[in-house]
Chain A
Amino acid sequence: MKLIITDIEEFNLPVEGEYKVIKPESGIHHCVGCFGCWTKTPGKCVIHDGYENTGINMGKCSEMILVSRCFYGSVSPFVKMVQDRAISYVHPDFVIRKGEMHHKRRYENVIALSLYLYGENITEAEKETAASIMDANADNYDGQVKQIRFFSNIEEMEGLVL
């Protein structure tokens, strides 16, 4: 299953195979740093606003595709809030991976990460930052980066098949 997280409300890009889209449909609450998703309801966020199951969906996906406006080299606040609410994808315990501390796996799936960032005047520094964040995400999820692409606007993504 492909898990697509996007800030585009009218998301209509074609997707090959089975997929699930998480997009702005109702107001999302930001992560409050309570760690309830690790120590109260392990694997699931404790905030019930329709976005609490992202960690579970990540555990079922083979590819996670982020389609977002670029904010200073990061994804948008909405997409980031979805990601922040899904740290339950990993186990709270630590492992040393590539010489650094990261979280242990909760699930066995290896996620391929793809990033499609759009926005006017995305700078080279922002592109480098976006690539560094994806590499770091791959280390933390124990997954791998599949591809990163940049677009000037949403229209430029027409013709893409995810």
Chain B
Amino acid sequence: MRIALIDASPKAKGSTSGILLDDLRHCLSGRAGMEMVDVALHSPQMQEEAWEKLDCADGWVFACPLYVDCLPGHLLSCLAQMDEKYSGGKEIAVYGIVNCGFYEGIQAETALKVMQNWCAKAGFAWRGGIGVGGGGALDIMTATPQEHGPKAPISKALSEMADNITEAGKGSAWENRYVSVAFPRFLYKMAGQMGWRHEIKANGGKSKDLGKRP
């Protein structure tokens, strides 16, 4: 079975989507008959290399950030092109992982619904998705153990997704999961706000500039 791990973040490097796909890859690696290919969808226009990899995959796993309560615009553009090319003519299992900077993974529900509607329209098989909250913390936790600690709920959901991917054809689609980092919300909020202050100062500004009204 060949699974395309589709990084649909607009960032080519260092994205939370990439981290989540790496964690999923870790869950899938070593499973009998499992082959993984990486696909990059960082811009609105589909590239030839992406088409080639998508053509020969049995399953697609999209990972992207939540943008304004929905999928990022560049990904919508790619999905429309895929709909046009494959509509009704490809049997494929589709999974989605949407991460948000907000603490609550449930805020990604609307984006996953758009992906489900896309599958229904194009004739693809929606197999399930994960809404990940607290995505802003994941880039500082790459060395954190998967099984316990703040990443545990996310790792558990990814592991369940990996099981479902492995059983494709035998198991049924599962309900979307919504998870958050196991870290108090007030601390996550505080750390995020400290991060903005650090960043604006690094750019030569002051903390109060964050609230400018041009």
Point out residues on A near B: beta carbons under 8 Å.
30-33, 35, 38-44, 56, 59, 71-74, 76-84, 87, 91-94, 96, 100-102, 106-107, 123, 125-126, 128-129, 132-133, 136-137, 140
Contact = CB atoms under 8 A, between A and B. Distances in A.
A155 B113 CA distance: 28
B213 A107 contact: yes
Interface stretch (B21-29, B51-59, B198-206): B198-206
A36 to B, nearest CB: 8
Contact of B76 (A56, A76, A93, A107): A76
B102 A133 contact: no
Given A80-B76, A93-B196, A101-B103, A132 B109 contact: yes
A35 B205 CA distance: 14
B77 to A, nearest CB: 4
Contacts of B104: 100-101
Contacts of B199: 35, 39
B162 to A, nearest CB: 26
Contacts of B140: none
Nearest to B208: A42
Given A77-B44, A100-B104, A123 B70 contact: no
Nearest to A99: B104
Contact of B200 (A42, A84, A87, A101): A42
B185 A101 contact: yes
Interface string B60-101: 000001011111111011011000000000000000000000
Interface stretch (B7-15, B32-40, B148-156, B167-175): B7-15
A39 B73 contact: no
B79 A72 contact: yes
B26 to A, nearest CB: 24
A102 B100 CA distance: 11
Contacts of B142: none
B102 A102 contact: yes
A68 to B, nearest CB: 11
A43 B212 contact: yes
B184 interface: no
B114 A78 contact: no
Nearest to B188: A101
B144 interface: no
A107 B212 CA distance: 9
Interface string B116-128: 1110110000000
Contacts of B76: 71-72, 74, 76-77, 80
Nearest to A138: B69
Contact of A91 (B185, B205, B210): B210
Given A39-B205, A77-B73, A92 B120 contact: no
Nearest to A102: B102
A91 B121 contact: no
B45 to A, nearest CB: 10
Given A39-B199, A44-B214, A129-B113, A77 B189 contact: no
A42 B205 contact: yes
15 contacts: A38-B196, A41-B214, A42-B214, A59-B213, A72-B114, A73-B114, A77-B74, A80-B67, A80-B70, A87-B68, A92-B193, A93-B193, A101-B103, A101-B107, A123-B120
A39 B198 CA distance: 9
B10 A129 contact: no
A136 B69 contact: yes
B166 interface: no
